[in-house]
Amino acid sequence: MKKGRKPTDRFPDDDEELAATSAEELTLEQLAAMEAELHVAKTTGRALAAGQKVRGTIIAAREDCYFVDIGDKAEAVLQRLDSPGDEAQRPLHVGDRIEAFVLSTKDGTIELSQTLDKRAQTQELLMEAYRTGVPVEGRVLESVRGGYRIGLGESRKGFCPLSQIDMAFTQDAETHVGQTYTFRIVEARNGGKDLVLSRRKLLEEEREVKAAALREQLVPGARLVGTVRSIQPFGAFIDLGGLDGLLHVSEMGHERIESPAQVVSVGQRLEVVVKGFDTKSGRIALTRKPLLEDPWSGIEERYPAGLTCDGRVTRLLDFGAFVELEPGVEGLLHISEIAPGKRLRHASEGLSIGDEIAVRIQSVDPPSRRISLARSFGEAGDETLELAVGVTFEGIVEGQLPHGVLVGLPGGQGRGLLPNRRAGEGEAARAPVEPLPVGSKVRVQVIYLSEGPKGKQVRLALPDAEGTEERDSVARFKERARSERGNWKKSSFAQLESLRRRS
């Protein structure tokens, strides 16, 4: 070979110069290699050497390789990568333009690689890979202080800092030992003897390629599959393959979830739906609600107005309390309904989170997903009873007012007022009714009923039979009071009740 000839020009330009080369100085293997490379050179019109960068187009794809047109009617073979660390080779398709390196031209076949594997990792080619940024293949040999020792080829070694072995911090340094990855040479010292490698660079580049393709799919309603990357008190970050999206805790299900860790775990594969994508900030909002059965479907059939049911207090606010009727279904108990007759400044003055209480359905609004509730303090009574003046029923005292008590109407039809005093007979006398405690049962009679824009207005009284007995007791008490003290008005109602019971 003449002095000054480049490595890629090892072959003579004509047959005369080839004949002048001394065959005795070459081994059989060298002769075979020269013959194969000469065949390639004649086929392509140029000489190709191991490590040389070429450009081409994918013209066919098989399970184990791609066929690449590198020009001048020459075809090359690019092997598919199968090792665990083959992040550098993205999925290729027919028609894709690629850059690759010549690994060999043995037997007239041009073999390409997008990384320098162990067969091609000579000192010269490693330096070329450093200058051009071509990925190299390496095996993690051991964990050392600050990083890892990486084996490159037969005898070359490099160093990968701990922060550059992966995109996320590695808790267990031994996790990567024994793995084969692709790296980029980011620094060459002492003439290439000391090489600093980075796997993270390649992972970030691969992530950016995937992110560009993913952005085209980020439309509201799109279904994607991702991996839970981290969990925070407010939600979970999902790796969608190039970009991270936030699955807020309120979007993990229809029911109220106290902690995201109750639903998801790090590393879990999860199907999600894109709720929104802000192109300026790059934030992706995710949800799982459309993938789950909607508990509000058929809500009016399950919770008709007037139904009495049990619920659990989940939130307390200044205007009322939210009560969970079933997972994903909550109703509002207004503050005026928490303790009827009492003036509360905050719902916490009458209830506590976690309390199990009985409530009555007042109204249901499915489009707005709202349910209005009222407090129920006992049995609802006969739900088939139709209210009318003169109707007698047994109700539950649900609240106290300065001028009377509120009694629950049958079938959850609301409340009626039983005044503390009602008119008597003769001399327009008025006898007070003793206040009843909340939750107690009382038998009452409807004496007034009116339908208005605010609903039913019902006034109640004790039944006539009981009223007659009381009026008789009042008359006897009057006569006794006149004879004993001269003025019955100065006696107490407690004395009247005592007299009534004795008689």
**Final residue of a domain: which of 375, 408, 434?**
375
In-domain check, residue 247: yes
| Whether residue 181 sits in one domain with residue 257 | no
The band of 443, judged by pLDDT with boundaries at 50, 70 and 90, is: confident
| Whether residue 14 sits in one domain with residue 69 | yes
- Sequence-distant (6+) residues with CB within 8 A of 66 are 58, 60, 77, 78, 80, 92
Window from 193-207, 261-275, 377-391, 462-476 with minimum mean pLDDT? 462-476
pLDDT for position 97: 85
Q: How does pLDDT run across 147-163, given as a tens digit for each residue?
A: 999 988 777 889 999 99
pLDDT for position 236: 92
| Whether residue 480 sits in one domain with residue 452 | no
pLDDT for position 149: 92
| Whether residue 100 sits in one domain with residue 25 | yes
Tokens of 114: 């997008």
pLDDT for position 287: 93
Q: How does pLDDT run across 83-142, given as a tens digit for each residue?
A: 434 444 567 888 888 877 776 777 677 888 777 655 556 677 778 778 777 788 889 999
Q: How does pLDDT run across 400-440, given as a tens digit for each residue?
A: 777 788 887 776 677 888 887 653 343 333 444 566 777 77
Q: How does pLDDT run across 207-231, given as a tens digit for each residue?
A: 887 888 888 888 899 999 999 988 9
Q: What's the rounded Cα separation, in Å, for the pair 408 and 396? A: 5
The band of 288, judged by pLDDT with boundaries at 50, 70 and 90, is: very high
| Whether residue 32 sits in one domain with residue 100 | yes
| Whether residue 243 sits in one domain with residue 190 | no
In this structure, what are the phi and psi dihedrals at residue 139, rounded to the nearest 5 degrees?
-115, 130
Q: What is the mean pLDDT of residues 332-356?
A: 85
pLDDT for position 402: 77
Q: What's the rounded Cα separation, in Å, for the pair 248 and 237? A: 9
DSSP sequence for 430-491: EEEPPP--TT-EEEEEEEEEEEETTEEEEEEE--HHHHHHHHHHHHHHHHHHHHHTS-GGGS
Q: What is the mean pLDDT of residues 304-322?
A: 89
**Residues 271 and 224 sit within 8 Å (Cβ to Cβ):** yes
**Final residue of a domain: which of 323, 349, 375?**
375
Q: What's the rounded Cα separation, in Å, for the pair 331 and 180? A: 57
The single-letter DSSP state of residue 85 is B
**Final residue of a domain: which of 147, 179, 204?**
204
The band of 17, judged by pLDDT with boundaries at 50, 70 and 90, is: very low
pLDDT over 70, % of the chain: 70
CA 502 to chain centre: 71
| Whether residue 78 sits in one domain with residue 97 | yes
pLDDT for position 387: 76
The residue that leads in pLDDT, 494 or 386, is 386
The single-letter DSSP state of residue 79 is E
In-domain check, residue 89: yes
Q: What's the rounded Cα separation, in Å, for the pair 75 and 66? A: 10
Q: What's the rounded Cα separation, in Å, for the pair 138 and 228? A: 29
| Whether residue 226 sits in one domain with residue 179 | no
In-domain check, residue 1: no
Tokens of 2: 């003449």
Q: What is the mean pLDDT of residues 439-458?
A: 79
The single-letter DSSP state of residue 116 is B
Its domain, for residue 421, covers 392-462
The residue that leads in pLDDT, 192 or 186, is 186
Q: Helix or strand or coil: residue 161?
A: strand
Please report, as a single letter, which amino acid is at residue 27.
T
Please count the helices (runs of H) and the strands (runs of E) in the chain.
Answer: 8, 27
Average pLDDT of the chain? Answer: 76
Window from 207-221, 314-328, 365-379, 399-413 with minimum mean pLDDT? 399-413
**Residues 48 and 108 sit within 8 Å (Cβ to Cβ):** no
In-domain check, residue 209: no
| Whether residue 109 sits in one domain with residue 14 | yes
> 29-38, 181-190, 201-210 — which one is most confidently predicted on average?
181-190
Window from 50-54, 195-199, 475-479 with minimum mean pLDDT? 475-479
Q: At what angle do helices 464-484 and 493-502 cross, to 10 degrees?
A: 110
| Whether residue 316 sits in one domain with residue 272 | no
The residue that leads in pLDDT, 336 or 321, is 321
Window from 28-32, 298-302, 358-362 with minimum mean pLDDT? 28-32
In-domain check, residue 475: yes
Per the listing, tokens 């059989």 go with 28
Q: What's the rounded Cα separation, in Å, for the pair 160 and 127? A: 17
Give CA separation, 457 vs 387, 422, 453, 496, in Å. 11, 17, 10, 31
How many domains does the chain fold into?
6
In-domain check, residue 153: yes
| Whether residue 494 sits in one domain with residue 454 | no
DSSP sequence for 312-371: EEEEEETTEEEEEEETTEEEEEEHHHHSTTS--SSGGGT--TT-EEEEEEEEEETTTTEE
Q: What's the rounded Cα separation, in Å, for the pair 183 and 141? A: 14
pLDDT for position 341: 63
In-domain check, residue 172: yes
SS3 of the chain: helix, strand, coil, percent, to 5: 25, 40, 35
Window from 70-74, 92-96, 237-241 with minimum mean pLDDT? 70-74
Contacts 24+ apart (CB under 8 A), 167-171: 167/200, 167/203, 167/204, 167/207, 168/229
DSSP sequence for 9-43: G-S-SSHHHHHHS-GGGS-HHHHHHHHHHHHHHHH
pLDDT for position 63: 81
| Whether residue 82 sits in one domain with residue 22 | yes
Q: What's the rounded Cα separation, in Å, for the pair 215 and 45? A: 43
The band of 272, judged by pLDDT with boundaries at 50, 70 and 90, is: very high
User: Is pLDDT at 40 greater than 60 in this prediction?
Assistant: no
In-domain check, residue 36: yes
- Name the residue among 126, 161, 119 with its Cα closest to residue 140: 161
- The CATH number of the domain holding residue 406 is 2.40.50.140
**Residues 344 and 350 sit within 8 Å (Cβ to Cβ):** yes
